[in-house]
Amino acid sequence: MKLGLHSIFDSATFTLTYIVWHPQTRAAIIIDPVFDFDPATQLLSHHSVQKVVDFVSAKELRVQWIFETHAHADHLSSARELRALFPGSQWAMSAAMAEVFATFKKVLGWPADLTIEQLGVDRWLRDQEEIAVDGFTVQALATPGHTPACMTLRIGDWLFTGDALLMPDSGVGRCDFPGGSAEKLYDSIFGKIYALPDHCQVFVGHDYQPGGRSLRFQASLAEQKESNIHLRSGQSRAEFVEFRQSRDKSLGSPRLLQPSLDWNLGVHQIVKRLKV
């Protein structure tokens, strides 16, 4: 039976949130939900959260899991808030988040007594681990490179790649954050994602709409391999690493880097300054 899929696009951060559900059991998952944040006023708002709540309510869905593909540095996550709004739901991220947390704790000077347990994640996922939802299964594939804790979520022939693999005309995610690695990203894409059947469909974490084109967030693996502007089938590891490292040197920091990491990695002592 074909699953239901709904996307919500946040134009302020170019982020895609996905809701996947089983049409008979009404069991659902949420992937990469957004919490709205205005850096000028430091105000948080629930506009994007409400879009998720309204859709789930209209479809009479039962949210069982909320997944993050990685620790986002360009938008705030609403996973904690949605978990509270959907009793019985659980929040899952990659177990490699421990490495990301430790790295940014040093880089950003977070309090010494801060621990990753304060984040409150329910399930730390290992590579190839499967999560059973009523009517379908979600498999976590470790695809590090953009960050050490990036996961691609596989649901049948659907692949939710986060920032690892973007639309073909946007390429792939940058690798210059602490712990990032162009070598690892190449290995992740060729070893894990491109190794899957060509008919699999990639759903990306962001669409930057290059050239002003209309929103697009889905492409087949065959299209990715043939026309991804950063990493096509047959491209050598050395070529990609040289290109990625050179390109990353020209990129500025994400606009919401500090507040995103403060919030998404659970630095409660710091995010108290943010006003909901």
Residue 244 banded pLDDT, cuts 50, 70, 90: very high
What integer pLDDT is reported at residue 141 of this predicted model? 98
What integer pLDDT is reported at residue 41 of this predicted model? 79
Is the pLDDT assigned to residue 78 strictly greater than 60?
A: yes
What integer pLDDT is reported at residue 67 of this predicted model? 98
- How confident is the model over 228-241, as a mean pLDDT? 95
- Indicate the average pLDDT of the chain: 90
What integer pLDDT is reported at residue 256 of this predicted model? 63
Winning range, highest mean pLDDT, from 1-5, 44-48, 121-125: 121-125
Q: Which residues of 232-268 are buried (b: 16+ CB within 10 A; e: fewer)?
A: eeebeeeebbeebeeeeeeeeebebeebbbbbbbbbe
- What percent of the chain clears pLDDT 90, i.e. is strictly above it? 72
Q: The tokens of 39 are what?
A: 């850096």
Q: Does pTM surpass 0.75?
A: yes
Is the pLDDT assigned to residue 268 strictly greater than 60?
A: no
